[in-house]
């Protein structure tokens, strides 16, 4: 995973990877969901309706709703059973091909003999999808649950709908524990929009790609060339000897986190550049960066992994 996607060719495109329509349990038709995201300034959207038998296993073709500067990715929220707490698996799969074979998942309850979550995630990844562990806090996932999805590319570290509607939108704790165990996963922040509650236009990914086209966006997502945000912008991020250097939109805090309790921060007013020392990060193979702006909105980098022996000096 590149430590500095900002040096790669292309530009950053803004997109939401998790949304629902009337094809499952959302309030708006697919065309209207796409219209709203396009009119809100998004570059792309993945419509990820629940891939359940009660809805006819929808994999919605949103290509008719493309417009100049706005594209869509085919996707679904996949379901299998059951997690350690007996809950239905929720697995975000973006970039699924037409004709992806549905599991036996008739409704929102686990059924005996269902395909396992890890097996379903592996099938989706093998079919070319970008696979994310959806809303781990809302789902009540254990660390063992999350670790079992060995085909996943990412963890949904913030889910706007789960945060606003049931106060269970966090995935960073699970993501950090997976990283502590050596799992090299990226992050994604999403809306999980249903348009029935305040669950939309609150968090997104910024994907660095050479074109706003499905193939280019998916390749960049799978490679980890993106960051997640509620509004603040990363404009540069580099690890230099002994420090992390960050360029950003105006923020009040730049925080670097690593394994366990390792963390360091720089705080100020309207900061657009910061240098955070890494003296506290001995023994951590990875680090990540959080931005916080004056309104309390956050942005999260993907984990950056230290290559080779030694420290960050």
Q: Which domains does the chain have, with CATH numbers?
A: 5-229 (3.20.20.140), 234-305 (2.60.40)
How far is residue 111's CA from residue 283's CA, in Å, rounded to a whole number? 44
Q: Please give the Cα distance from 54 to 37 (Å, whole number).
A: 26
Which pLDDT value is given to residue 311? 78
Q: Assess whether the previous peptide bond of 304 is cis (omega < 30° from 0).
A: no
* pTM exceeding 0.85: yes
Q: Are 288 and 300 in contact (CB under 8 A)?
A: yes
Q: What is the rounded CA–CA span in Å between residue 13 and residue 208? A: 6
Residue 100's nearest CA partner among 136, 72, 153, 61 is 61
Contacts of 222 (CB under 8 A, 6+ apart): 130, 153
User: Which pLDDT belongs to residue 313?
Assistant: 67
Backbone φ, ψ for residue 124 (5° rounding): -65, -45
Rg (C-alpha) for the chain, rounded Å, is: 19
Task: Determine the Cα–Cα distance for residues 158 and 166; give it in Å rounded to an integer.
Answer: 13
CA distance 284 to 13: 31
SS3 content of the chain, % helix, strand, coil (to 5): 20, 35, 45
Ordered per-residue pLDDT tens for the chain, 313 residues: 344 788 899 999 999 999 999 999 999 999 999 999 999 999 999 999 999 999 999 999 999 999 999 999 999 999 999 999 999 999 999 999 999 999 999 999 999 999 999 999 999 999 999 999 999 999 999 999 999 999 999 999 999 999 999 999 999 999 999 999 999 999 999 999 999 999 999 999 999 999 999 999 999 999 999 999 999 999 999 999 999 999 999 999 999 999 999 999 999 999 999 999 999 999 999 999 999 999 999 999 999 999 876 678 6
Residue 197 is given by DSSP the state: S
Tokens 């970039």 -> residue: 95
pLDDT, residue 307, reads 84
């Amino acid at each position: 995973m590149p430590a500095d996607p900002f040096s790669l060719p292309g530009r950053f495109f803004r997109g939401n990877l998790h949304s629902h329509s009337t094809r499952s349990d959302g309030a708006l038709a697919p065309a209207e969901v796409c219209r709203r995201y396009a009119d809100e300034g998004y570059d792309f959207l993945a419509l990820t309706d629940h891939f359940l038998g009660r809805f006819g296993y929808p994999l919605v073709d949103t290509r008719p709703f493309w417009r100049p500067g706005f594209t869509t990715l085919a996707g679904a929220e996949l379901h299998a059973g059951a997690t350690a707490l007996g809950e239905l698996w929720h697995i975000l799969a973006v970039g699924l091909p037409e004709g992806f074979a549905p599991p036996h998942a008739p409704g929102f309850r686990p059924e005996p003999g269902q395909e396992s979550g890890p097996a379903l995630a592996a099938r989706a990844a093998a079919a070319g999808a970008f696979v994310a562990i959806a809303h781990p806090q809302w789902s009540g996932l254990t660390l063992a649950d999350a670790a079992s999805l060995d085909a996943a590319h990412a963890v949904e570290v913030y889910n706007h709908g789960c945060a606003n509607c049931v106060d269970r939108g966090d995935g960073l704790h699970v993501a950090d524990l997976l990283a502590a165990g050596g799992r090299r996963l990226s992050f994604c922040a999403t809306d999980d929009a249903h348009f029935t509650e305040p669950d939309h236009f609150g968090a997104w990914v910024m994907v660095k790609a050479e074109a706003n086209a499905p193939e280019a966006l998916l390749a960049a997502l799978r490679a980890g060339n993106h960051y997640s945000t509620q509004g603040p912008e990363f404009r540069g991020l580099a690890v230099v000897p002994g420090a992390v250097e960050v360029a950003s939109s105006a923020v009040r805090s730049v925080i670097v986190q690593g394994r366990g309790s390792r963390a360091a921060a720089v705080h100020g007013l309207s900061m657009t550049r910061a240098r955070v020392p890494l003296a506290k990060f001995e023994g951590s193979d990875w680090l990540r960066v959080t931005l916080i702006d004056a309104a309390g909105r956050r942005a999260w980098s993907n984990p950056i992994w230290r290559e080779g022996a030694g420290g960050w000096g």
